[in-house]
Amino acid sequence: MERKPLYFDDVKEGDEVPAFVVENLTRTDLVKYAGASGDFNPMHHDEPFAQKVGLPSVFAHGMLNAGFVSKCVTDYVGRENLRKLKVRFATRVWPGDTITCKGKVTKKWEDGGKRLIEGEVAALNQKGETAISGAFTAELPGR
Amino acid sequence: MERKPLYFDDVKEGDEVPAFVVENLTRTDLVKYAGASGDFNPMHHDEPFAQKVGLPSVFAHGMLNAGFVSKCVTDYVGRENLRKLKVRFATRVWPGDTITCKGKVTKKWEDGGKRLIEGEVAALNQKGETAISGAFTAELPGR
């Protein structure tokens, strides 16, 4: 699907970053991420190992969750326009969780010909707990 | 490590195919195989899923075990000399298993200038149960 371009002129402070939702994260998703990233920490795929260290089950790689947040932001601003993305890890994400990433524009300004926006973004689980909070800066095209 | 070439002249019927051993197969090994092969059947990485269908745990992909057998044979005859490999799946392989692949040469003959050997090979677990049995044919160089 082609992304509709986001123009600086059309954005105002307080605008919402449309939600990106991952429903029912599976162990298979974690295994695919392990293979793709090369992060084979058994915490993310070895159930007895995870339970031995006191966890209820395996849990998602932090950077997988950060990837969801990043996708939410770049779906909105455009990959080529993202200048900064900061993330802060809060709650763990577990198999079966549904993760909703969303955010809003907090600032809009121009700086030496650059059209910039700043926003906050977060990934929440189905209980409304924050898995990741973050902030982004993007430079947008004018019309 | 460079493989020492195996010459037809040096092989006799009854010769052993040197053992190839995989000690303590881990869930991480299965996850790596899933990523490398693209076989994401949850049976091989999703513990609750495997247990729900009545298994004690996840288990190894049959073709991963077949790969061990293949490595045992090609370490012996040379990858470029293997002409046929048949495998038959017997017992499942579980995390924590140690798999020993070994075999022997059962036949040696020449056919129209081709120097051929045939052998049997098997992968056994630490209890001596056969995980895979198989047979191979190789065409070897003369001295």
Q: What is the pLDDT of residues B90-112, one digit of tens each?
A: 999 999 999 999 999 999 999 99
Which of B27, B30, B64 to probe the A interface (max A CBs under 10 A)? B27
Question: Residue B129's closest CA among B96, B97, B87?
Answer: B97
| Burial class of residue B68, CB neighbours in 10 A (0-12, 13-18, 19+) | buried
Instruction: State the pTM of this model.
Output: 0.86
- Going by pLDDT thresholds of 50, 70 and 90, the confidence category of residue B3 is confident
Residue B46 Cα distances to A14, A27, A125, B90, angstroms: 42, 6, 21, 22
Neighbours of A46 (CB within 10 A): 22
A27-37 helix and B27-37 helix, angle to the nearest 10 degrees: 80
> Is residue A120 packed enough to be buried (19+ CB in 10 Å), middle (13-18) or exposed (0-12)?
middle
Reported as a single tens digit per residue, the pLDDT across A43-85 is 999 999 999 999 999 999 999 999 999 999 999 999 999 999 9
Q: At what angle do helices B27-37 and B62-77 cross, to 10 degrees?
A: 90
pLDDT(A113) > 60: yes
Over residues A26-48, the mean pLDDT reads: 96
**Close Cβ partners of A132 (under 8 Å, ≥ 6 residues apart):** A62, A65, A66, A68, A69, A87, A88, A89, A90, A122, A123
Q: Distance (Å, rounded) from C-alpha B20 to C-alpha B39?
A: 24
> If pLDDT is split at 50, 70 and 90, which confidence band does B129 have?
very high
Per-residue pLDDT tens for B45-78? 999 999 999 999 999 999 999 999 999 999 999 9
Q: Is residue A118 pLDDT above 60, yes or no?
A: yes
Res. B1: pLDDT tops 70: no
Q: What pLDDT sits at residue B2?
A: 72
User: So what's the architecture of A8-139 in CATH?
Assistant: Roll (3.10)
Mean pLDDT of all residues in B78-85? 95
User: What residues are paired with A17 via a beta bridge?
Assistant: A103
Q: Give CA–CA dist B138/B118, Å, rounded.
A: 6
- Closest residue in B to A29 (Cα) is B40
Give the pLDDT confidence score for residue B86 in this predicted structure.
Answer: 95
Using only the alpha carbons of chain B, give its radius of gyration: 17
**Mutation test of the interface with chain A: which of B33, B37, B43, B47, choosing the one with the most A Cβ atoms within 10 A?**
B47
- Chain-centre distance of CA B49, in angstroms? 27
Between CA A136 and CA B38 the distance in angstroms is 34
Ordered by start, the domain boundaries in chain A are 8-139
Give me chain B's average pLDDT, please. 96
State the complex-level ipTM: 0.78
Q: B31, A49: Cβ pair inside 8 Å?
A: no
d(CA A18, CA A121): 10
- pLDDT band at residue A1 under the 50/70/90 scheme: low
CB within 8 Å: A28 and B46: yes
